[in-house]
Amino acid sequence: MRTIAVVIEYDGTDFAGFQVQQGKRTVQAELCRAVQKITKEKVAVIGASRTDAGAHATGQVVHFRTTCRIPIERVPAALNSVLPRDIAARWAWEADDSFHARYSALSRVYRYTVWNHPVRSALMERYAYRVSQPLDIEAMQEATRYLIGKHDFAAFASEVGRYRNTVREVYSAHLLARQPLVWLRIEANGFLQGMVRAIMGTLIEVGLGKRTPDAMAQLLESGTRQQAGFNVPAHGLCLVRVNYDRSTILKKGVTGG
């Protein structure tokens, strides 16, 4: 039995999210079908992160276990030959038997993109949330600094009752701007459902002068979702990277590009 890990990219526009849902088109269901076609085996495909409906990924990681002997260097091309156009396998590696795409992850990195312009962009419409009013980037950057460290992020979680523990550690958080594009790039050991979208909604309110930057610290202390900002739409959200301890997961060298 082999454990194969694959880095996956997808445009989430036409998906009901990553995870399999009865009667709905999902990324995981399409991947399961593709893996079955190339391995001739019905196997489970496990993802590192359950992205929301409409959210995208350039660095989602999945794994599956198979007895198929397809060479690892051929796996991305084989998958791409049967995957739909809005999903692509970027590269693959043969992992240790203990590897698990979700539970072996040390951190995940998400990016949220804002199109800050009074006129919409045809090219960015699917991948960025438009804010037509000018944003105070410096105030948003100041607010972002409060996110770094270990905090209770209950104020930024959807359906907070589903979690035993809402404490997460944010390793880095950067608000970057190259007008008209504004990005939040955030890395943490884990994310609550809706967390990045609620954080970005709060930052936008800071940028519009509706909140002061130190309101971010107050929200972290409050733990009350109703006090935080709105959830921005999922189409501006992208999972860009999942990080692992390479010394423990690699059975054979990384292949692909």
Query: What are 206's two structure tokens?
Result: 């800071």
Q: What residue type is assigned to position 210 of the chain?
A: K
Q: In this structure, which topology does domain 107-239 adopt according to CATH?
A: Alpha-Beta Plaits (3.30.70)
Q: In this structure, which topology does domain 2-104 adopt according to CATH?
A: Alpha-Beta Plaits (3.30.70)
Query: Which residue has tokens 């007008």?
Result: 179
Question: Which stretches in the chain have pLDDT values below 50?
Answer: 257
Query: What are 257's two structure tokens?
Result: 């590009």
pLDDT of residue 252: 58
Residue from 11, 52, 152, 214 carrying the catalytic annotation: 52
pLDDT of residue 122: 95
pTM above 0.85, yes or no: yes
Q: What residue type is assigned to position 46 of the chain?
A: I
Collapsed DSSP state (helix, strand, coil) of residue 130: strand
* Domain segments of the chain as ranges: 2-104, 107-239
pLDDT of residue 61: 97
- Kindly report, residue by residue over 17-57, the tens digit of the pLDDT: 999 999 999 999 999 999 999 999 999 999 999 999 999 99
pLDDT of residue 179: 92
Judge whether 2-104 and 107-239 match in fold.
yes
Annotated active-site residue 52? The verdict is yes
pLDDT of residue 225: 83
Residues near 107 by Cβ (< 8 Å), separated by ≥ 6? 171, 187, 188, 189, 242, 243
Phi (first) and psi of residue 240, to 5 degrees:
-100, -20
pLDDT of residue 257: 45
